Structure 1
Amino acid sequence: MELTQIPPAYSATKSMTTTKQATEASGSTTLSSDFETFLRMLTVQMQNQDPLNPVDSSDYAVQLATFSSVEQQVLTNDLLSSLSSALTGGSMQKLSGWIGMEALARAPVEFAGSPVNLRPEFASGADAAVLVVRDASGATVQRLTLDLSEDSAQWAGVDDSGTLYPAGIYRFDVESYQNDSLVDTTIAPVFSRIEEARISGDVVLLRLSDGTELESSLVTGLRASD
C-alpha cells in the first residue's frame, strides 16, 4: 500500500525435569507417611481409651472420612499442578519453533532503517483513515493517509524531504474517520522478530527484537523472517 504524507492539520519471553520428578516423589512419600502416622495415632487412641467410656465408633469414622477428604484434595491439587506444568511445557516446545520468525502483534516496533510492515484495521463504515506514527515518548512524528481497500501497508521511515527518521522504538495508530469525524483509533498490528520465549507463571512470554515482551496469546500471525 502506498502511503501519502498529510499535513499535521488533518483532523484530529534436564535438571529441571529431575527436580520436578524429585519434588513429586517427595510429595507422594510425605502423603503416605502422613497417612501411616494418622493410622498409628488412631490405633494408639483406640488402645488407650477408657473401657468404661469407649469412643463411639462413629467418631472414628468421622476422623477417617476427614483425613480421606484431605488426602483426596492433596492428590487432586498435585494432579492439577502436574497437568498445568505439562500443558505449559507443551506450549514452550511448540513455541520454540517461533524463535527467529516474525510475529504479528499490536505492539511497538524497533525501526533501524528498514521499512516497517503493518496490517492496519479500519472501523466499520469508515470512509477515510490515517496512520499516526509516534516515537518512544508518544510524540507524533508523522501522519499518513491509508488506502481503505488495502489490508497491508508499509512505513518507509522517511520524512517529507526523504530524510530517514532516527533509529528507535515507534508505535503506529490507525485513526478511522467517517464524514470527517474521528470514529475509532486502534494500534496497528506490526511484524516483529521473535528473539526469545520464556515461561512466566502460567503464561509464555515472547521477547521481540526491540526488547518488547508480550504473551504468546497476543500473536495473531507469523511469517518467516527476511
Structure 2
Amino acid sequence: MNVNETASYPSPAKSSSGGSSSGLSADFTTFLKMLTVQMQNQDPMNPIESSDYAVQLATFSGVEQQVRSNQLLEALAAQFSLVGMSQLAGWVGQEARAAADVWYSGMPVTLAPNPVANADSAVLVVKDQTGAVVSREGIPVSTELYQWFGGDAAGNPLPEGRYSLSLESVRAGEVIQTDPMEYYGRVIEARGGAGGVRLVFAGGIEVLASDITALRAPPS
C-alpha cells in the first residue's frame, strides 16, 4: 500500500455528521485501526514517511475539534434562546409599546404620538382591515400619551375589530410627514419562531420583540 491509497478510507467529516461525542470517539478509533493496517501493509522498499502519518493525524484531529466546536456553539445558542424566552415570560401581562395594528374592543387605547417638531397640527388617521379610512381625528401636537376612544368620522363607536393607526404631521395646511402610531398593548403571550421572538397582543396581533420601544406595568 502506498501513500496515495490512504485517501480511500471514509472521510472523518462525514462520519462525524451525527454530531455526538460517541460518534467522534468511534470514528477516531476506526481511523487509528486503519492507520495501523496501513503501516503494517506498507511497501518495505518504499515506506511511508512519518511526516505523512503526522499530516493524516493532524487533519483528522482538526476536523474532530471543529465538529466539537460546532456542537458547543449550538448548545450555547440553544441555552441563550431559553434564557431569552424565560426573560420574555416576565413581559406577559405587561403593557408594551409598539407601532402595530390595534384590536379595538370598545375600551380606550393609549396612544404614544410623536409628531414632527415643527408641525402646527396633527391628525390621527384610522383605517379598517380593508384599508378604508374610517376616522380622521385632530389631536394635540405633543408627545404626551393620548386616549383614543374609537369613534368614527361621525363620532359613533367603531365596531370591534382590527384597525391601523397613523399620525399625520401638518404644517400650514399640508401634511409634511406620516408615521405609524405607537400605542400600548397588553401582552398575552411570548412566542418563539424562525423570525425571532414575537409578543402577542389582544386580537392575535403579533409584534417582534425587537420592535418594542417601551414596557410598563398596566395602570391600576
After TM superposition, the structure 1 = structure 2 runs for residues 67-146 of structure 1, keeping only pairs within 5 Å, are: 67-146=60-139
Match of 2:152 among 149, 159, 162: 159
**Structure exhibiting the larger radius of gyration computed from Cα positions:** 2
- Aligned equivalents of 1:183, 1:79: Cα separation in 2: 52
- Aligned equivalents of 2:199, 2:102: Cα separation in 1: 14
Does residue 218 (structure 1) correspond to residue 200 (structure 2)? The answer is no
Match of 1:62 among 33, 48, 55: 55
8 Å CA contact 1:88, 1:203 repeated in 2:
no
Matched residue count: 202
> Cα RMSD (Å) of the superposition?
2.0
Amino acid at match of 1:43: T
Aligned to 2:21: 28
Give the C-alpha shift of residue 107 in structure 1: 0.7
Give the C-alpha shift of residue 171 in structure 1: 1.1
Does residue 44 (structure 1) correspond to residue 37 (structure 2)? The answer is yes
Return closer, same or farther for 1:222/1:128 CA change in 2, 3 Å cut-off: same
- Aligned equivalents of 2:176, 2:154: Cα separation in 1: 31
Q: Deviations over 1:10-69 (max 9, x none)?
A: xxxxxxxxxxxxxxx971111222122211111211111111111122221221221122
SS in 1 for 2:124: strand
Question: Percent identity of the aligned residues?
Answer: 47
Unmatched tracts of structure 2, length 5 or more: 1-17
SS in 2 for 1:98: coil
Return closer, same or farther for 1:186/1:59 CA change in 2, 3 Å cut-off: same
Q: Deviations over 1:163-191 (max 9, x none)?
A: 21111001110111233332221111111
Match of 1:196 among 189, 201, 204: 189
Does residue 171 (structure 1) correspond to residue 164 (structure 2)? The answer is yes
Amino acid at match of 1:195: I
8 Å CA contact 1:123, 1:176 repeated in 2:
yes
Q: Give TM-score, length-normalised by structure 2.
A: 0.84
Amino acid at match of 1:33: A
Unmatched tracts of structure 1, length 5 or more: 1-24
Structure with greater contact order relative to length (CA < 8 Å, sep ≥ 6) = 1
Does residue 205 (structure 1) correspond to residue 198 (structure 2)? The answer is yes
Amino acid at match of 1:42: L
SS in 2 for 1:166: coil
